[in-house]
Amino acid sequence: MSGWSRILESVPNFSEGRDRAVIERLTAPFRDRPGVKLLDCQSDENHNRSVITAVGEPEALAAAVLEAMEAAVAAIDLRRHRGQHPRLGAVDVVPFIPVKGLSMTEAVAVSRRVAEEAARRFRLPVFLYEESASAPHRRNLADIRKGQFEGLPEKLRRPEWLPDFGPAEAHPTAGAAVVGARMPLIAFNVNLGCDRLEVAEEIARRVRHIGGGLRFCKAIGVALRDRGIVQVSMNLTDYTRTALYRAFELVRIEAARWGVPVVGSEIVGLVPLAALVDAASYYLRLEGFRAEQVLESRIYE
């Protein structure tokens, strides 16, 4: 069995969550393709949006993503698109995430190649975001997407919102796309043994970056009404620099001010192996542990 030495992940978001035939055309490029594996496709009818998760060797994955973008541009008409989720185009956003054997710099290079080729082939304005952004004000997806598809004609007239690639004019049916590389995001929630939402909200304010907390942590307070407890719900946007255990311990320390215990935690969705190895290493005080010592990593190397 020969594994992949380099693994890239992509989680493209398309503005179609209802029409099964179209969704099938969006996922098809990721199926039965050497060097690519489709992990998931979640379609939401209310959002009218589909989120595909796929991994693969960088070149093969990039080719699959471009094919899916082509299918989306051909099939989705934003002039008639209604849904609860904000969107800028048929291909709304295409993040690339380095998983194994390649650096962020290499993931950025792949995202730029895909953005450039998509702009040329589909006559689509494409913005680079996150780690691939060409200017600080273009890093944040929400800022790029502000005004949505309907606001594109006006937005594209402003010099600070010229696209990175493609025409300075919205594609008539497909709008514009956002492409870039980012770190994997970990959804990590810490449960508190109390029912006062204001406590969870106050702790969230203290641990998150904008409140003076951890650099790669976003957080809000949430009530779990069925369990009668509250939760600090976090997104860790770079677990290699803001570690899982650090976020956990900081919530615990802040909760102690109210005499509130941490009663549990949960990881929602996928988590990179390295984030868990890092947590185990911290608590067990492991010296010199290498990820290659994990049996499973050797099997698939």
Q: Please choose, out of 85-93, 102-110, 233-241, 270-278, the segment that lies near a copy of itself by the rule CB under 8 A.
A: 270-278
Query: What string marks each residue from 158 to 187 as x (binds a copy of itself by CB under 8 A) or -?
Result: --------------------------x---
Q: Distance between CA atoms of 147 and 152, rounded to whole angstroms?
A: 7
In the complex, minimum distance from the CB of residue 297 to a copy of itself, in angstroms, rounded to a whole number: 7
Query: What string marks each residue from 67 to 106 as x (binds a copy of itself by CB under 8 A) or -?
Result: --------------------------------xx------
The H or E element containing residue 236 is: strand 229-236
Q: Please choose, out of 20-28, 85-93, 139-147, 290-298, the segment that lies near a copy of itself by the rule CB under 8 A.
A: 290-298
> CA nearest 271: which of 9, 4, 3, 83?
9
Q: Distance between CA atoms of 127 and 129, rounded to whole angstroms?
A: 6
Does 239 engage in binding with a copy of itself (CB under 8 A)?
A: no
Does 4 engage in binding with a copy of itself (CB under 8 A)?
A: yes
Which string of b and e fits 266-297 if b means at least 16 CB within 10 Å? eeeeebbebbebbbebeeeeeeeeeeeeeeeb
Q: Which of 134, 173, 240, 265 binds a copy of itself (CB under 8 A)?
A: 265
Q: Which of 9, 16, 92, 130 binds a copy of itself (CB under 8 A)?
A: 9
Pairing between β-strand 177-181 and β-strand 126-130 as defined by DSSP bridges: parallel
Does 287 engage in binding with a copy of itself (CB under 8 A)?
A: yes
Please give the structure tokens belonging to residue 288.
Answer: 């010199």
The catalytic site residues sit at: 85
Q: Please choose, out of 66-74, 160-168, 201-209, 278-286, the segment that lies near a copy of itself by the rule CB under 8 A.
A: 278-286
* SS3 at position 88: coil
Q: Distance between CA atoms of 199 and 258, rounded to whole angstroms?
A: 8
In the complex, minimum distance from the CB of residue 198 to a copy of itself, in angstroms, rounded to a whole number: 23
Q: Please choose, out of 34-42, 135-143, 161-169, 209-217, the segment that lies near a copy of itself by the rule CB under 8 A.
A: 34-42
Residues 6+ apart with CB under 8 A from 263: 191, 192, 193, 229
Q: Which of 55, 78, 144, 176 binds a copy of itself (CB under 8 A)?
A: 55
By C-beta, is 142 or 283 nearer to a copy of itself?
A: 283
In the complex, minimum distance from the CB of residue 40 to a copy of itself, in angstroms, rounded to a whole number: 8
Q: Distance between CA atoms of 11 and 134, rounded to whole angstroms?
A: 21
Q: Which of 109, 156, 223, 276 binds a copy of itself (CB under 8 A)?
A: 276
In the complex, minimum distance from the CB of residue 299 to a copy of itself, in angstroms, rounded to a whole number: 5
For a copy of itself, the binding residues in 133-162 under the rule CB under 8 A are none
User: End-to-end alpha-carbon separation of the chain, Å?
Assistant: 9
Which string of b and e fits 195-227 if b means at least 16 CB within 10 Å? eeeebbbbbbbbbbeeeebbebbbbebbeeeee
Does 246 engage in binding with a copy of itself (CB under 8 A)?
A: no
Asked whether the beta carbons of 35 and 73 are under 8 A apart, the reply is: no
Q: Distance between CA atoms of 171 and 42, rounded to whole angstroms?
A: 26
Q: By the criterion CB under 8 A, which residues form the site for a copy of itself?
A: 1, 3-4, 7, 9, 34-35, 37, 39, 55, 99-100, 184, 191, 244-245, 248, 262-267, 269-273, 276-277, 279-280, 282-289, 293-300
